[in-house]
Structure 1
Amino acid sequence: MIKTMMERITSIQSDNDFSGSVLVKESHKVLIDSSFGYANRAEKINNQSGTRYGIASGCKLFTAIAICQLVEKRKLSFDAKLTECLDVKFPHFDEHVTVHHLLTHTSGVPDYFDEEVMDDFEELWIKTPMYHIRTLQDFLPLFQNEPMKNSPGEIFRYNNSGYILLGLIVEQASGLSFTDYVEEHIFKKVGMIDSGYFAFDSLPERTALGYIDHPDGTWKTNMYSLPAKGGSDGGAYVTVTDMARLWKSLMNHQVLSKEMTDRLLTAHVQEEKGSFYGYGIWINKKDVDVVKYHVMGYDPGVSFHSAYYPEDSRIVVVCSNKSSGAYKIMTAIEEEWAKVTNR
């Protein structure tokens, strides 16, 4: 199976010029650990398993874990209203928006990147230069004075602004900057020694540059396409090995108690048939059984998919420093696994 799976991955890489790293683990055994393409094209520096990749929205899980930790410490509650746990004025927001609503994308607050209004993330930085976006407060002018999209709890609507608000809540409740909190209470706790929230203009060693390819064969980096530093809605950097550590620690209740882990992994809201959302995490079910917990992220120059499969404790991490590619690799791995296990 591993040989066939690797052949599929290599074929997809060849057809689509996949650039990134792939890690597949079953329990404690590494089945696949392969990397392709360049972390730095100009210098021809190869990607490797120790390369740090941006994961865009894949790190919403870290934000949800941070909130759950603070609830465990009784510094917050899931039912707390936004107005009770954040000293920021939102003149048009519904006063009934809660932490739970924000975690599950059911708050109805306006999203600073509204796909009904724009389809190119880079449009955001025409009026607000991306190099000014370095803290969570810097995002507020993008949505703070906008009207609600719908009533709290009414529908699931994926929402980046909601996770910016959660990050601000973490800061107010903990007294730390959001990125410092995550690095101290999550990354260090589980041994994610190579992961962090890095600014574009001060990237550490072994960090992959994100690449945007043009139809004519030219390319550019994503340096001017994203906020200068990521935050609670996206933008952390991880290695495939560190991400696997996060899954293992989460499922072994090393970052949260069993009770709180179960709360995070509960299917709180349904997005479509078989697909649900917990707190910062997607959940796929077949009938009543959970078949996959997963996170994903897409930005210009970034594509990321990672999953934990509870039936056999399998972990898959696919990081790419291009705008697409991770999904096809992830799908191929799942298809080859299904052939062998008949699932």
Structure 2
Amino acid sequence: MGWEDVERIAEETGFSGVVRVDRGDETVFERAYGFADRAHGVPNTAGTRFGIASGGKGFTALTVLSLVRDGTLGLGTTARELLGDDLPLISGDVTVEHLLAHTSGIGDYLDEEAGWDVEDYLVGAAHLLTTTEAFLPLLDGHAAKFRAGERFGYCNSGYVVLALLAERASGRGFHALVHERVLEPFGLTGTGFPRSDELPGDAAVGYLEGQDRTNVFHLPVLGNGDGGIYTTAADMTRFWRALFDSDLAAEATRPRNHVPEESLRYGLGFWLHETTDTVILAGYDPGVSFKSWYDPHTGTVATALANTSSGAWPVARALPS
């Protein structure tokens, strides 16, 4: 497919978002479509910030891996060592590595394996979820699905638990850790955790599919370890370049599991192409869809960001793989 196909698909589907492709140091395609704020007629621009849902798990993984590198945590550190009496249904042999690789088997507050409608109300009192500790009641009471290390099982709870472990091991809040250990060293000035009920003027409001209703009641008011960070297309290009210039890439992108139902593999926080070295982040939430990938051999970065629940997928399929 060519760029004219991207333009055609964007028009046919009413795509609202930003698409960008870089090869080496050259931006070969960049377009913005639709509105960041429909009520006020604010258009999306190349610099608009979008939520990336589970794409944020890559940022969480790198934050945790930086703590492992520095000796604050270990991949073999058990969750129980830092949880104490909290979340008693998490088995004593679940480790940081199990949580990063989605092989912990712990119960999930948002169980995607059980089937779910992306636009359901699933997080309860969304406005209370402003800290990692505030997630504890949401994470509690979910029985384990399998023994630690037995198989791959995608788990949102696991990444909030990782944020909690990172906080307790370091004595720093999760959002500050992400800023200090990933955003600042990677030069990601357009990336961060705004509250959904006070988005800055350059951030896109998320809209439910086919509606003008926003996603403000559907997601935690402040993103956490399992997702919710906002970023720009340009920052995603910077992110991939900085990651592969860092000492964290090898551990994060080493394949841990084959996931045949997705025709992908998984590392620690990152999806991996089934047969090549392309590394992928993706996210899907009410009013959010996102995919970005990087080919370390050609230096190609492709990113599709949308402020609707599934708008990114048709244009992402038209981008170079």
Query: What is the TM-score with the length of structure 1 in the denominator?
Result: 0.89
Q: Name the counterpart of 1:14.
A: 11
Q: Name the counterpart of 1:299.
A: 285
Q: Name the counterpart of 1:268.
A: 256
- Which sections of structure 1, spanning at least 5 residues, go unmatched? 338-343
Q: Name the counterpart of 1:161.
A: 157
Equivalent runs, 1:134-173 vs 2, <5 Å: 134-173=130-169
**Aligned equivalents of 1:309, 1:49: Cα separation in 2:** 22
Q: Name the counterpart of 2:244.
A: 251
What is the CA-CA distance between 1:318 and the residue it aligns to?
0.8
Equivalent runs, 1:188-337 vs 2, <5 Å: 188-214=184-210, 218-253=211-246, 257=247, 260-272=248-260, 275-286=264-275, 290-334=276-320
Letter of the 2:286 counterpart: P
After superposition, the C-alpha distances for 1:257-300 in whole angstroms (9 at most, x for unaligned) are 2xx421111001111185210010001132xxx24100100001
**Aligned equivalents of 2:55, 2:115: Cα separation in 1:** 23
Letter of the 1:197 counterpart: F
**Aligned equivalents of 2:8, 2:101: Cα separation in 1:** 37
Flag the 1:38–1:121 CA change in 2: closer, same or farther, 3 A: closer
Flag the 1:161–1:150 CA change in 2: closer, same or farther, 3 A: same
- Which sections of structure 2, spanning at least 5 residues, go unmatched? none
What is the CA-CA distance between 1:48 and the residue it aligns to?
0.8
Task: Please state whether the residue corresponding to 1:221 is helix, strand or coil.
Answer: coil
Q: Name the counterpart of 2:183.
A: 187
Letter of the 2:228 counterpart: G
Task: Please state whether the residue corresponding to 1:212 is helix, strand or coil.
Answer: coil
**Of 36, 39, 48, the match for 1:39:** 36
**Aligned equivalents of 1:66, 1:180: Cα separation in 2:** 10
What is the percent sequence identity of the aligned residues? 35
CA RMSD across the alignment:
1.6
Does 2:74 match 1:77?
yes
Q: Does the 8 Å CA contact 1:303/1:322 hold for their aligned counterparts?
A: yes
**Aligned equivalents of 2:16, 2:118: Cα separation in 1:** 22
After superposition, the C-alpha distances for 1:79-127 in whole angstroms (9 at most, x for unaligned) are 11111233452222211101010001110101001232643553324xx
Q: Name the counterpart of 1:61.
A: 58
Letter of the 1:281 counterpart: F
**Aligned equivalents of 1:14, 1:119: Cα separation in 2:** 26
Between Structure 1 and Structure 2, whose CA radius of gyration is higher?
Answer: 1
**Aligned equivalents of 1:198, 1:112: Cα separation in 2:** 23
After superposition, the C-alpha distances for 1:133-167 in whole angstroms (9 at most, x for unaligned) are 11112222123222111110111111000000000
Name which of structure 1's ranges 218-227 and 16-25 shifts more when overlaid on structure 2: 218-227
Name which of structure 1's ranges 16-25 and 177-186 shifts more when overlaid on structure 2: 177-186
Flag the 1:16–1:189 CA change in 2: closer, same or farther, 3 A: same
Q: Does the 8 Å CA contact 1:113/1:121 hold for their aligned counterparts?
A: no
What is the CA-CA distance between 1:205 and the residue it aligns to?
2.2
Letter of the 1:244 counterpart: T
Task: Please state whether the residue corresponding to 1:76 is helix, strand or coil.
Answer: coil
**Aligned equivalents of 2:118, 2:273: Cα separation in 1:** 28
What is the CA-CA distance between 1:201 and the residue it aligns to?
1.9
Q: Does the 8 Å CA contact 1:308/1:316 hold for their aligned counterparts?
A: yes
